[in-house]
Structure formats: structure tokens, C-alpha cells
Amino acid sequence: MAQNDYSIKDFKTLIVWQKARELTQDIYKVSANFPQFETYAAKSQIIRAIASIGANIAEGNGQLYKKKQINFFNNALGSASETRHWLVIAADNGYISEEDYTVLEQKTIEIIKMLIGCIRKLQEQAEDEEIA
């Protein structure tokens, strides 16, 4: 009996996922210093938003169809924008330094740009699949 050789796309090889993972760790570290009363508010929200970026990239990468992958990458894009919002709130309230804010904001923007590039590429591939 011949064994089928199915290749599995590994999200861990994606640079955008690696950067999202790194940013997640950075935000976990800085959010550890948030005030106790923010545990179930701003801290919880920013952690959920940042963790969602990598999770959606991973889930999208595992899809067979380009259009499904685009949907998950678009969700990751939304979570990245939400992360930016919570970074502003954290900076406004003095939970993170201006320096930390600037670094985390730039890393988030870099991920957003990468996701937009990925989505555009996937859209082209999806159009090519429809033509073929």
C-alpha cells in the first residue's frame, strides 16, 4: 500500500508569526506591571488582543483554501489594531513608559504591514485559483 506524502504548512516558519510571538512575550512582560485593578480590564484585553494575532495567523496558515486563510489573516489584522488601541490606553494611564510604548507600537505596525502584504499576496493567489 502506497503511503501518501502530505506536506503540512508550518505556521512557525512564517516571519509574521514569529514577530507576533515576540511581541506577545513583550506585552506579557510589560503588562505584568499593570495595576492590580486592571487585571480583568486593560491587562486582560491587551493580552487577548495580542495573543489573537498569532493564533489567527496559525489558524489561517492551516487552511486549505486561500479565501479562508485571508479571513483569518484579516482577523489577525483587526487584533493588531486593537492591540495598538490598548497600548495607547496603557501609555495614557502611565502603565507603560513612553519608551516601551514607542517600541511596542513600532513592532505592532510592522506586523500590520506584513499582514497587509500577506493578505494582498493571498488575494492574488485566490484570483489565480479561480482563473485556473
DSSP string, 2-27: PPP------GGG-HHHHHHHHHHHHH
Give the CATH superfamily of 14-131: 23S rRNA-intervening sequence (1.20.1440.60)
Torsion of CA 21, 25, 28, 33, to 10 degrees: -150
The domains of the chain are located at: 14-131
pLDDT of residue 3: 55
Task: 68-77: list long-range contacts, CB under 8 Å, 24+ apart.
Answer: 69/122, 70/119, 70/122, 70/123, 70/126, 73/115, 73/118, 73/119, 73/122, 74/119, 76/20, 76/52, 76/115, 77/112, 77/115, 77/116, 77/119
pLDDT of residue 130: 75
C-beta separation of 91 from 98 below 8 A: yes
∠ at Cα 62 (109, 11), nearest 5°?
50
Least confident of 2-16, 66-80, 103-117: 2-16
Torsion of CA 68, 71, 76, 79, to 10 degrees: -140
- For residue range 39-91, list pLDDT tens digits in order: 999 999 999 999 999 999 999 999 999 999 999 999 999 999 999 999 999 99
